Amino acid sequence: MGSQRRRQSAEVYRRRRILVGVLAVVLLVLAGWLVGLAMGGGQESQEAESGPDSTGQDADAGPDSTGSEPADEDGSEPGSEDPEEAEAPDSEPEPSQDQPPEDGSCRTGDLEVRASTGSESYGPGYAPMLVMEVKNTADYACEADLGTEEQEFLIEHGGAVIFSTAECSVSRESLPVQLEPGQVEQAHFTWPRSDSAEDCAEPAELNPGSYALTVSLSGVRSEPHDFRLNEG
């Protein structure tokens, strides 16, 4: 009986050892599961805390994600200035070409000057009538000096200057005229067929042929106009 009791005790002991081992395994598995659960929860908590504002910068108070400063309300970059605003405050704007100058005078580009003669050809003994036409091409009225002080009548023949009122002692007078838009005025000069290099008033021995008249007023020059001096 004593040996049978010892066998039962050994078997009971063995079963207890197996139970303890199983319980140990279960505890290890349970502990591993709890550790994994704790680590997963901590990672999710850390990801939730680390958001777009985790750098400590206020998204509304600092530069945007590109590192550049926000644009102004009108879309312009901060610090940029309008070229017009950057101009010197004392700079005066140029007068508009649609308005006359303050003194009311005509600009050079407002006037068109044309040359013509009373006839296309002149026989011996006839003094050619030289004509200057001045037209206001602007859209506004302006004042031009149509006097002899600003005029020049120039005649050439074969590329050489034959006569010029600028070389003669003609009366130099000022004649301001108010020209309306499109208005045309004329000035006339009777050429005595003279050579201004010799005598402005006395006829000279001139060769027959084609002559060219060019007129100018206040520096505005016309295109040449051809006419003829015929043989006698």
Angle ∠(131,134,136) on CA atoms, nearest 5? 165
The answer, as to whether pTM is greater than 0.75, is no
Clarify whether residues 130 and 225 are in a common domain. Answer: yes
Using pLDDT thresholds of 50, 70 and 90, give the confidence band for residue 3. Answer: very low
* 86 located within any domain: no
The pLDDT tens digits of the residues spanning 53-76 come to 544 444 444 444 444 455 555 555
Clarify whether residues 139 and 224 are in a common domain. Answer: yes
Residue 102 has pLDDT above 90, yes or no: no
Mean pLDDT over each residue of the chain, to the nearest integer = 79
* 71 located within any domain: no
The pLDDT tens digits of the residues spanning 6-37 come to 445 666 666 777 777 777 777 777 777 776 77
Query: Which residues span the domain enclosing 132?
Result: 108-229
Number of domains in the chain: 2
* 102 located within any domain: no
Clarify whether residues 213 and 120 are in a common domain. Answer: yes
Clarify whether residues 120 and 216 are in a common domain. Answer: yes
Strand partners, 184: 135
Tokens, residue 34: 């709890």
* 198 located within any domain: yes
Clarify whether residues 223 and 114 are in a common domain. Answer: yes
* 51 located within any domain: no
* 122 located within any domain: yes
> How far lies 72's CA from each of 13, 58, 60, 62, 122, in Å?
85, 19, 14, 14, 78
Neighbours of 185 (CB within 10 A): 15
Question: Can you give the CATH number for the domain in which 224 is found?
Answer: 2.60.40.2360
